[in-house]
Amino acid sequence: MNTLIVYASKYGCTEKCAELLSKELNDEVDIINLKRIRDIDISKYEKIIIGGSIYIGKIQKEVTEFCSKNLDKLIEKRIGLFICGMQEGDTISTEFKQNFNPVLIKIADAKECFGGEFILDKMNFMEKFIVKKISKVTSNKSNILEENILKFAQAMNSI
């Protein structure tokens, strides 16, 4: 089976997670960064995994545009959805609902938060200020949840 992972990443965490996920999948996998490539022929894929990082409650516009543009084709596929970010608990469920079409959420075979990172070195002054103020983070912090990536891969491998 052919699987496509499409994602958008601002600082690279989502890209790392997409790579980790691809290594756990049993299928032949193509990975596409939506910030680099926007026109994608999804007809040759049986499974499509869509992911992006969440900033201030919003996923990148490239992910939203991809889902909207391809919704009629996506509903005919096996779908997985993931987000990356430092959120926890009920916030994760809320962010899925706010950022993905309800139809995709309903048909998704797997939905997961893969954790996230704060890499202050890559942020501009305002982003650093906000992160330090709200999250109380003063140095780089990584919280990629590899167990969630494995659980997601197992769910996608079982279909």
DSSP-assigned states of every residue in 63-101: HHHHHHHHHHHHTTSEEEEEEESS--THHHHHHHHHHS-
Residue 136 pLDDT exceeds 80:
no
Name beta bridge partners: 136. none
Weakest-pLDDT range from 18-22, 45-49, 94-98: 94-98
143: tokens are 């919280």
Residue 3: strand, helix, or coil = strand
Report field, pTM of the whole predicted structure over 0.85? yes
1: tokens are 């089976």
Average pLDDT, integer, range 146-152: 96
* Alpha-carbon gap, residue 107 to 30, rounded angstroms: 21
Residue 56 banded pLDDT, cuts 50, 70, 90: confident
Residue 122 pLDDT exceeds 80:
no
Q: How many helices (H) and strands (E) does the chain have?
A: 6, 8
Residue 16 pLDDT exceeds 80:
yes
Residue 13 banded pLDDT, cuts 50, 70, 90: very high
Residue 130 banded pLDDT, cuts 50, 70, 90: low
